[in-house]
Structure 1
Amino acid sequence: MAAAAAEQELLLHLKLAFLAQEPPACVLCLARKAGGGSVTPHVQNFILESCTGNNAGGDQNSTYVTIILKRIIAEAELSSDIVIDRLYEEFGQFMSSKSNNSSLNRTEKIYKEISFLSPTNDNKRVSLVARLSCSINMLEGDTGCSLWPSSLFLSEFILSYPKIFSKRCCFELGSGVGLVGVCLNYVSASKVILTDGDASTLENMKANMEMNNLCVEQEDSELLKENKNKVQCKYLSWEETSESDLWDSRPDLVLGADIIYDPVCVPHLIRVLSMLLKRRNNRGINNVADKEETSNEFSSGATEIPVAYIATVIRNVETFNCFDKAAADAKLSVVNITNSEAPLSLLPYMLSYDRSSVQLLKITLFS
């Protein structure tokens, strides 16, 4: 019984990795694990029926599927395992589809399904699925439409500590594809405001919200005011925005993933954070019960004082030191809570996701 359950868990990881369009080497590694060390006919059938088949769900990139099938066939042949005929047939069909669809170019997107596994022991293994349109060339100037480790880490943090974000107005800087927004809506944030300073990224973000059945809020829309699945997607230039532009937002919580990346942008980021973290009266806590519940989350907890949670990969120490100094000069308290408040591992099937590279910062404005 335990062995069967373990096999089902491995097969689930294999499927979720495929739908998330993990690198082929990662998918192949999971396929081997599911087969006990080799890609067995049973695993091959699973890939055909649950990954590349009609019941896999989502829009499939024929190039990606072709590469996966090619690697699976090569692995099975190399290990002298049987390669089932249907695998060759499916590979041929996708090869034909790829040749007939030669219009794929650098500006096209791929669709990923990011599935967060349930942290509980209930029967519902997948608690949330985020469907996202992402760039296929994140190093070709389309970084805002790419999915980064810090965004995955921040999303795990939100889902691990839902009480922090429930019934709170949440404001994200540099929202990119919008994964954090999907997670904030899932944990019942009272309001979700996603922002980005790139017009094309903003349009892609809006499309992603609609793909996840989240209404993109428009002004004077009575219908959307009654819809609990509601977010705002706004253009925000850190260089140009003023305090009056941000006043209506009045967030309880500010979030950001991989927004500390360029020394030139650091002063503008610090200025925006300082404006958003200013104490304001009559914030999002509506009653005594809400206050007591929130104060139980982390010892420093009351959200009458706005708090920012920034997830970042320190790729350049000088850039981070620049941020740290600018924050101190602006009287911002920056505390690394990566270890003390580590999120649960909700994406174990994403072998390419290096959680250890991400730092989580808690930022407040000194009184």
Structure 2
Amino acid sequence: MADEELDLASPSCLHLLAAFLAMEPTECLISLAREYGGGSITKRVQRFIWEHCISKAAGQTNVPYNSYVKKFLKKVIVDVESNCDDVLDELYEQYANYMISLKDDSLVKGNTRVRKSISFLFPEGCFDVPSCPKSMKVVVPLQCSLNMLEGDTGCSIWPSSLFLSEFVLSYPEIFCSKSCFEVGSGVGLVGISLAHVKASKVILSDGDLSSLANMKLNLKLNQLSTEDMPERTIQDPTLIECKCLPWESASERDLQDIRPDIILGADVIYDPLCLLHLIRILALLLKPNKCNPHQRGNNWQGSSPKSSYINGGRDSYAEDSSCGFGTCRGRAAYNGASRAESLYEAMKAGRVAYIAAVIRNVDTFNYFLRLAGEAQLDVVDITGTQKPLNLLPYMQSYDRSSIRFFSHSSHD
């Protein structure tokens, strides 16, 4: 069947292929394949799967990737046969090859890495968005871990990094020509997005050497140069600086030359033992420039709590069992509206931190808020006001509703 008959530009085609390249759960692929076929995996859909997914995967030597394809093939065959339809001969043959060559699926266990591609798909009507290419998609290849919770967390793609990348690509005017610094950069997805929207300078950091090495590999996969300590006077938008920055040992001297306009962090509010160090780094990076006589330096240590969490004048968090993360409640502390207004002005000025996080433990998050108050950092929940475009419509494993989005700024 010719490519024209497959209608490769249709959302169904794009979503199925994007989900396959991102190695979404095979149940997601089957769901998208049925949607493409109008309720069943027709011969037309099978042909698309073979020509644009399976055949291009044939010959790969990566065992985890081949095991993933084998599992997908099996589910396709079972689904088609259960509907008493014919299975494409090529799919049968390729599955038989995998049955012979992949006899022990236990080989995929452990800290195993594969190469995925995350496709950001811009919806119709986005041609006026500067980050939207003519192809209407941005494809980011990444080497990452399949086992997020088995000692390789820094090489995994966390949900908040997907959200933060969507935000960067949705609001390029915030980041264009700005100096940006990310704490806990992991696989480097946010940094690659910043480079796409032409941030003037991008500095990525991580405290784990293995994650840092993997991050540099991902930057090279995306035709971005890396340099640990660049000595240059002319800024190169394709060059990203990578720094080894363990939070607990980072000194003010380590950070004094960075002075970014914007700080970013994805899923960094998770370990109570690390939060004190994270807040210290944020406070140092957000500290007003000493050369400005109208701004007073922010002495973090020993300061009294002068700020609070702001979301419509509410300042405390409580567990909400219906959704699995915290929701706001409590009395107003400070004039929430005026404080929020001043913070939005700070955003426009550029000296701001954006943190996206899944709140897995309410007590940990409340501890984070208390430390932020002691550091004289204002925290504003902008989840409802700064929503990014839905650039990952095919990614059913990505739950946006679980993510909260915050801005942080320093005040006198």
Q: Would you call these one fold, judging by a TM-score over 0.5?
A: yes
Per the alignment, residue 287 of structure 2 pairs with 278
CA displacement 1:237-287 (0-9 Å, x = unmatched): 11111111101111000000000001111111111100010112789xxxx
Q: Among residues 339, 360, 364, which one is paired with 2:384 in the alignment?
A: 339
Per the alignment, residue 268 of structure 2 pairs with 259
Per the alignment, residue 318 of structure 1 pairs with 363
Give the TM-score taking structure 1 as reference length.
0.88
SS of 2:379's partner is strand
CA displacement 1:311-351 (0-9 Å, x = unmatched): 00011011001101111111110000011111110000001
Rate the CA distance shift 1:336–1:5 in 2: closer, same or farther, 3 A. farther
Per the alignment, residue 231 of structure 1 pairs with 240
Query: Which runs of 5 or more structure 1 residues have no equivalent in the other structure?
Result: 284-297
Give the TM-score taking structure 2 as reference length.
0.79
* Residue 364 (structure 1) aligned with residue 409 (structure 2): yes
- Asked if the contact 2:142/2:187 (under 8 Å) is kept, the reply is yes
Rate the CA distance shift 1:260–1:303 in 2: closer, same or farther, 3 A. same
Q: Among residues 4, 10, 13, which one is paired with 1:11 in the alignment?
A: 13
1:233 positional shift: 1.0
Task: Tell me which amino acid in the other structure corresponds to 2:76.
Answer: I
**Which one has a bigger Cα radius of gyration?**
2
For the residues of structure 2 that align with 1:235 and 1:98, how far apart are their CA atoms?
38
1:6 positional shift: 10
For the residues of structure 1 that align with 2:94 and 2:390, how far apart are their CA atoms?
34
1:53 positional shift: 2.0
For the residues of structure 2 that align with 1:101 and 1:321, how far apart are their CA atoms?
42
For the residues of structure 2 that align with 1:94 and 1:324, how far apart are their CA atoms?
51
* Residue 42 (structure 1) aligned with residue 52 (structure 2): no
Query: Which runs of 5 or more structure 2 residues have no equivalent in the other structure?
Result: 1-5, 128-132, 293-342
Per the alignment, residue 192 of structure 2 pairs with 182
CA displacement 1:137-192 (0-9 Å, x = unmatched): 11111111111110100000000100100001100001000100100000000111
- Asked if the contact 1:169/1:251 (under 8 Å) is kept, the reply is yes
Q: Among residues 49, 71, 80, which one is paired with 1:76 in the alignment?
A: 80
For the residues of structure 2 that align with 1:345 and 1:59, how far apart are their CA atoms?
34
For the residues of structure 2 that align with 1:300 and 1:307, how far apart are their CA atoms?
10
Per the alignment, residue 292 of structure 1 pairs with none
- Asked if the contact 1:50/1:56 (under 8 Å) is kept, the reply is no
1:93 positional shift: 2.3
- Asked if the contact 1:112/1:133 (under 8 Å) is kept, the reply is yes
SS of 2:38's partner is coil
Per the alignment, residue 93 of structure 2 pairs with 89
For the residues of structure 2 that align with 1:154 and 1:189, how far apart are their CA atoms?
15
* Residue 137 (structure 1) aligned with residue 142 (structure 2): no
Per the alignment, residue 26 of structure 1 pairs with 28
1:77 positional shift: 0.8
- Asked if the contact 1:7/1:34 (under 8 Å) is kept, the reply is no
Task: Tell me which amino acid in the other structure corresponds to 2:25.
Answer: P
For the residues of structure 2 that align with 1:19 and 1:73, how far apart are their CA atoms?
20
Q: Among residues 333, 343, 353, which one is paired with 1:308 in the alignment?
A: 353
For the residues of structure 2 that align with 1:72 and 1:101, how far apart are their CA atoms?
19
Q: Among the aligned pairs, what percent are the same residue?
A: 50
What is the Cα-based RMSD across aligned positions, in Å? 2.7
Q: Among residues 186, 210, 213, which one is paired with 2:223 in the alignment?
A: 213
CA displacement 1:48-83 (0-9 Å, x = unmatched): 101122389998611110000001001111121221
For the residues of structure 2 that align with 1:218 and 1:101, how far apart are their CA atoms?
38
SS of 2:389's partner is coil
Rate the CA distance shift 1:125–1:105 in 2: closer, same or farther, 3 A. same
- Asked if the contact 2:120/2:139 (under 8 Å) is kept, the reply is yes
Rate the CA distance shift 1:125–1:350 in 2: closer, same or farther, 3 A. farther
